[in-house]
Amino acid sequence: MSLRFFLNPRYVSWLLALYWVQWLIWAYRPPFFQEWLLENVLPLLFVGLLVATFRHFPLSNISYTLIFVFMCLHTVGSHYTYSLVPYDRWASNAVGVGINELAGFERNHYDRLVHFSFGLLLAYPIREVFVRIAGVRGFWGYYLPLDLTMSFSMLYELIEWAVAIVFAGDIGQAYLGTQGDEWDAHKDMALATTGAIISMSVVWFINWKYNRNFGEELLQSLTVKDARPLGEVKLQEWIKDSQKED
């Protein structure tokens, strides 16, 4: 695909319109309305944040595309609740054999796909924010997006746990979506981490291939910028400076 396609100034508007169209389609008569509402609170807040910051801090069209794909995957999951997405029936109708039957799965793995996609698709937009706001370079431009993706994945699992406690019963369990697996949260976080590692590895390769300053930026990012320790040493300097001013 040509880069001209992504450079079109109307691209993001088209993407946003397409997102709302598919969201409205999947918002029609969800089987479990209360669970659907819970699943859509954070995504809609996120979309609102992207719209509000677009004029002053627009991301690249590639980042918006990756976010769009992830949000579409989530929209499908929120319509059915993740553990009930009928991807197996869709596959059977399309090719005559279900994915679970073919792969030997014993549970619905749509939630696993979305957790993996969270790392794979959102690590790059997170990297863009780090590079453009925090000014990170070299090694830290790959490690910090991975680290934050892992942190967000952990935070989401904690939110799921809190919701399950507050909304005890079927609603909480549907939102949690463990399907009886006591290691569900650990596997979800591992998949998100794996996706982010793949994403950052691809970005690393592209930078190595096309960025002439790749090696220099990598070395500079690992050099000591300030030889003085922080902690008590820095605190003592601040105290001395404040005493001089007094």
The pLDDT score that the predictor gives to residue 30 is 94
Residue 180 has a pLDDT of 63
Burial (CB count <10 Å: 0-12, 13-18, 19+), residue 66? buried
Helix axes 33-53, 61-80, angle to 10 degrees: 170
Q: How many whole angstroms separate alpha carbon 119 and alpha carbon 163?
A: 22
Q: Looking at residue 82, what DSSP letter applies?
A: G
C-beta separation of 143 from 4 below 8 A: no
- Domain of 58 in residue numbering reads as 3-245
* Residue 170 pLDDT: 59
Mean pLDDT by 10 residues, the chain (246 residues): 69 95 96 89 94 95 97 96 91 91 87 95 98 95 97 89 70 57 84 97 97 95 90 89 80
CB-based contact 35:81 (threshold 8 Å): yes
Radius of gyration of the chain (CA): 22
| Three-point CA angle 85, 90, 94, nearest 5° | 165
> Residue 122: which of 149, 153, 158, 140 has the closest Cα?
149
Q: How many CA atoms lie within 13 A of 48 on its CB side?
A: 6
pLDDT of residue 56: 95
Domains: count for the chain: 1
